[in-house]
Copies of this chain bind each other. A is one copy, B any other.
Amino acid sequence: MCPKYECATELLGKKWTGLIIRVLLGGPKRFKEIKEQIPEMSDKMLTDRMKELEHCEIIKRNVYPEMPVRIEYELTQKGQGLEPVIQSIQDWGEHWC
């Protein structure tokens, strides 16, 4: 169990990560749209978390060559697979925290 469990919890244990994933479970979003749903989080923090999530292949960054250029973030399949995890944590927290 160890290394795989740690891989997941190290990521999910970081502040804001679960919330960002939850916002993206609603479909692809632009940076600004994610920010609007989590106003307490700084731009710097969101940028850092998005880079980590992209590095871990939880989200992908799509660049549309329009004028001005449009950039959207969406969950990969790996990222979408976190839905039951986030839901069960949320359920537990609501009941017990």
What is the interface of chain A, defined by CB distance below 8 A to chain B?
Answer: 1-10, 12-15, 18-19, 22, 40, 78, 81-82, 84-97
Of B8, B85, B88, B92, which is within 8 A of A97 by CB?
Answer: B8
State the main secondary structure of chain A at its contact with B.
Answer: helix
Knowing A82-B92, A85-B88, the reply to whether A15 touches B6 (Cβ < 8 A) is yes
Q: Tell me the minimal C-beta distance from A65 to chain B in angstroms.
A: 31
Q: Which residues of B contact A78 (CB under 8 A)?
A: 96
Q: Tell me the minimal C-beta distance from A79 to chain B in angstroms.
A: 9
- Bound-complex Cα distance A8 to B95 (A): 11
Give 19 new A-B contacts, CB below 8 A, not counting A8-B92, A81-B92, A84-B88: A1-B18, A1-B90, A1-B93, A2-B40, A4-B93, A5-B86, A5-B89, A7-B97, A9-B18, A10-B13, A12-B13, A12-B89, A13-B13, A84-B91, A85-B85, A85-B88, A85-B89, A85-B92, A87-B88
